[in-house]
Structure 1
């Protein structure tokens, strides 16, 4: 009986930021995981104001990657994961219900949880903070 591998990919936290993201994805593919989960800062700011977007980009550069990230453009991870052989797994239903219950345990008002494109998005008021997604190999 073989082992089951599940990977929680903490993009840009565990490897050299100057390395190739595509090579990292290929390495993950070679491990043949049953599932990959990704939680990342939400950079799809379509509904946010220019000031919010500008402020969030500054925070992203300074906090997440420093000088190495100043010229980086957001990679479309969905396209890259599909390119190396993964397909999205919906987080609607039970995962969304469990996340909503956990969020309800906190006393702060203003947090939101939105299901969008098979992902879960955590927000504060009208500002999207994090996106969680799950992926499995297409086989």
Structure 2
């Protein structure tokens, strides 16, 4: 796996967590950190794509506008790479509209996120502190900043699913095996009664106590 981001330190730490998780599943795992925004990649050799291997891209469309680079360049790169599959994960939160609209939406969304963390991790847990102060704080700042998504100075799509359709990608339904694996992973973090996993329209939605948090969908190219 190749991971991209603006901080090598965070990428290395992410690689360690993923390696530990893969070890728990009994999987061989190799991680290649690249301290570059995906939308700013020019030299694709840094991605270490191996000839003959199927390429999959996981794209998390979240509130960290400053971590991903221009969306149009990301789409150009995706088309150039021609992956066999793209998994797209989107946060269920409004990034547009007036400040009041964004404030109300983010208040409800992030209150739910904090509730879910608080149900499983004590206040002084170092992992919880990292998530809240290094990730969620930045996301909230991005959502609430005056000017909406354009504040980053980088072009952002209104809806990634629409853009994928325009450029020759089509959605494919999540397989029964994928749903079972997602549920298995969710059950690895007991108690899991607060979380819900709902399948519909070929997508998976992760929620916490009636509030939808993330939607995952899978895509493939019409022109392999």
Q: Residue 179 of structure 2 aligns with which residue?
A: 96
List gaps (5 residues or longer) in structure 1.
45-49
Larger helix proportion of the pair? 2
Task: State the shift of 1:69 in Å.
Answer: 6.6
Task: State the shift of 1:80 in Å.
Answer: 0.8
15, 27, 33: which one aligns with 2:83? 33
Q: Is 1:63–2:138 an aligned residue pair?
A: yes
Count matched residues. 131
Q: Residue 86 of structure 1 aligns with which residue?
A: 169
TM-score normalised to structure 1 length = 0.75
Larger strand proportion of the pair? 1
Secondary structure class of the residue paired with 1:10: strand
List gaps (5 residues or longer) in structure 2.
1-50, 95-100, 112-134, 150-155
Secondary structure class of the residue paired with 2:87: strand
For residues 55-93 of structure 1, the C-alpha deviation after alignment (integer angstroms, 9 at most, x for no partner) is 146789953273587313982221111111111121141
Q: Is 1:107–2:160 an aligned residue pair?
A: no
Note closer, same or farther for the CA distance 1:43–1:5 as it changes in structure 2 (3 Å cut). same
TM-score normalised to structure 2 length = 0.49
Which consecutive aligned stretches of 4+ in structure 1 deviate over 6 angstroms post-superposition?
Answer: 57-61
Task: State the shift of 1:120 in Å.
Answer: 0.7
Provide the rounded CA distance (Å) in 2 between the counterparts of 1:29 and 1:56. 36
Note closer, same or farther for the CA distance 1:7–1:13 as it changes in structure 2 (3 Å cut). farther
For residues 82-138 of structure 1, the C-alpha deviation after alignment (integer angstroms, 9 at most, x for no partner) is 111111121141111111122223322211000122111110011111111111101
Decide which moves more: 56-65 or 24-33.
56-65
Greater RCO (CA < 8 Å, at least 6 residues apart): 1
Note closer, same or farther for the CA distance 1:13–1:94 as it changes in structure 2 (3 Å cut). farther
Provide the rounded CA distance (Å) in 2 between the counterparts of 1:57 and 1:89. 28
Q: Residue 6 of structure 1 aligns with which residue?
A: 56
Q: Work out which of the two has the higher radius of gyration on C-alpha atoms and give 1 or 2.
A: 2
Q: Is 1:125–2:178 an aligned residue pair?
A: no
